Amino acid sequence: MRGHNGSKGKQRMDFSAQIVARLKTALNMSEAEIEELIETPPEREMGDLALVCFRLAKRLRKAPQAIAAGLKETVDWPDFVTRTEVEGAYLNVFFDRAKRAKNVLETALRAGEDYGASDEGKGKTVCIDFSSINIAKPFHIGHLSSTAIGNALYRIYGFLGYACVGINHLGDWGTQFGKLIVAYKLWGDRDEIEARSVASMLGLYVRFHDEAEKDPALEDQAREWFKRIEDGDPEALEIFDWFKELTLREADRVYRLLNVRFDSYAGESFYNDKMDRVIDELRAKNLLVESDGAWVVDLEEYGMPPCLILKSDGATLYATRDIAAALYRKDTYDFHKALYVVAYQQNLHFSQWFKVVELMGYAWSKDLVHVAFGMVSMEDGTLSTRRGKVVFLEDVLGRAIDKALEVINEKSPELENKEDVARQVGVGAVVWGTVSNARIKDIVFSYDRALSFEGETAPYVQYTCARTTSVLEKAPALDGDIDYAQLCDEEAGEVVRMLEAFPAKIIEAAERCEPYIVARHIVDLAQAFNRFYYEHRIIGEDGPRMRARLMLVRAVRDCLRRGLWLLGIEAPEHM
């Protein structure tokens, strides 16, 4: 279990938040309602912030323009507001840019890489069920989204003070293990499996299905071996545990590359002795009904098919196990939220068993959240090594690292630690491919697009971050006053605005379970900084101006580095 350990002193309220607070008082509305009416004008000459008064007309029974004019005169504006202007139904607010820069930069630099951290989650636990690989099956490209999105949410919630429990709900139960044992006993070689691990097990599994089409008796043998696992037979358990150990050893290499960690590997098998509670409770609450010999919870009233709890042979199903796991997690962690980072194909499954938990009378069913996401596929012509018609995630990461090294050798052949930087860039590019899009969007992964140093990519943000480091390394040691008036130009003003918004973007990403909000923001920050960098000299300017610009550079570096970290991506010092 982990929360963020950094400094979380209360950070000064940003200028926009202060305006919202003043309008809240003037309009007698909630901050959330006011925020719905606030916009950032598309053109800077239209102000730094605009209040849209259309939706206030019905509430206040006045024309929007009259509302804007009235607020202009009656609101107790803070001293950093230089003027306000009414333009139609809009009330445009202009900030003193020097004061804004001073407020933002002093706050950001005081916090360093903890800028945006908070204690809002103190005393609250968030369980995050993600990755959930299957034992004896490949850790493939299809697991990328769950793993990357879940890891980003784990970091984002932790940064906001929540105690996070990362759970890898392993697929480690079912008749497939009986099939694999039969295949191993008939055709397997222990040394070969030790050497090739999951690839070898996948080959055995594929062969079992081919042979079973010719000899259906193999299916009976598979059921027998799985029954032996269930009954605790020593030989069956020894082979089963060996398969599990090999799979996790191979998966650990991928998790290390991705900088992903878990607090629990309690998978399906962990809940074998916890199913009776679910079944007994459903019966006691008269929720179970018989249907063709099986037992279900009828959800027709809620527009869903029945939720299958027990098959006619008495076997439990995924829903039974998920309910048992939710009860266990609530008892063990008393979670504030339980997130399930699972593809959208499982929407119905989660809707069904969430509703069953609600019908069982548990008010915390509202705290169960399905964090759905789209599919990842490979672009035609950029195939990795395919084994058993599966693209292994380790192969994708390896190829991305190789391609990153090619780019580095071409663009920066003198760079130190090229292999390490290539790993950071290659892995970052793969992770970015899924965390930089709205979750629900299907993704076609392209190596060339992901590894581009131009556009909205991880290497672009990493390179910008390295650029800030380079500037700071070349800067002379400076003492003395800082002239914030030197940061009032359009380019610096836009960077300050992006820095000011960073903490709110982290909170929004947590509230919506959307890491891409952070990704989108750090791309915008990187682009704003690069415009500033190309338009304004930094090193060699007079003292007060150089100090002000270097403060801006340092704050950008800290924000980009932290933003990348929140997404599970490293920031190379040099590129």
Domain boundaries, the chain: 15-95, 125-284+316-371
pLDDT at residue 3, as a whole number: 55
Quickly state the pLDDT bin for 87 (edges 50, 70, 90): very high
Question: Domain 125-284+316-371: what homologous superfamily?
Answer: HUPs (3.40.50.620)
Q: Reply yes or no on whether the pLDDT at 417 is more than 50.
A: yes
- What value does the mean pLDDT take over residues 427-440? 92
* Residue 11 reports pLDDT greater than 70: no
368 pLDDT tier (thresholds 50, 70, 90): very high
Q: Supply the pLDDT for residue 446.
A: 74
Residue 383 confidence class, pLDDT cut points 50, 70, 90 = very low
**387, β-bridge pairs:** 390
The answer to whether residues 438 and 464 touch, using CB atoms and an 8 Å cutoff, is no
pLDDT for 379 equals 66
Catalytic residues: 137, 140, 143
Q: Do domains 15-95 and 125-284+316-371 have the same CATH topology?
A: no
- pLDDT higher at 479 or 521: 521
Q: How many residues does the chain have?
A: 575
Between 207-221, 286-300, 412-426, 445-459, the lowest mean confidence (pLDDT) is in: 445-459
Q: Worst-scoring range by mean pLDDT, 46-50, 519-523, 554-558?
A: 46-50
What are the angstrom distances between the C-alpha of 351 and each of 166, 355, 357, 374? 22, 6, 10, 17
Average pLDDT score, the chain: 90
- CA dist 313 → 32, 309, 317 (Å): 53, 12, 11
Distance CA 51, CA 395 (A): 51
| CATH topology for the 15-95 domain | Gyrase A; domain 2 (3.30.1360)
> What is the model's pTM?
0.90
- Give the pLDDT confidence score for residue 387 in this predicted structure: 38
pLDDT of 10 above 50: no
Give which of 245, 271, 291 is closest to 136, Cα–Cα: 245
pLDDT one-digit tens code per residue, 167-180: 999 999 888 899 99
Residue 386, pLDDT above cutoff 60: no
Instruction: Answer yes or no: is pLDDT of 476 > 90.
Output: no
Confidence of residue 6 (pLDDT cuts 50, 70, 90): very low
In this predicted model, what pLDDT tens digit does every residue of 484-538 receive, in sequence order?
999 999 999 999 999 999 999 999 999 999 999 999 999 999 999 999 999 999 9
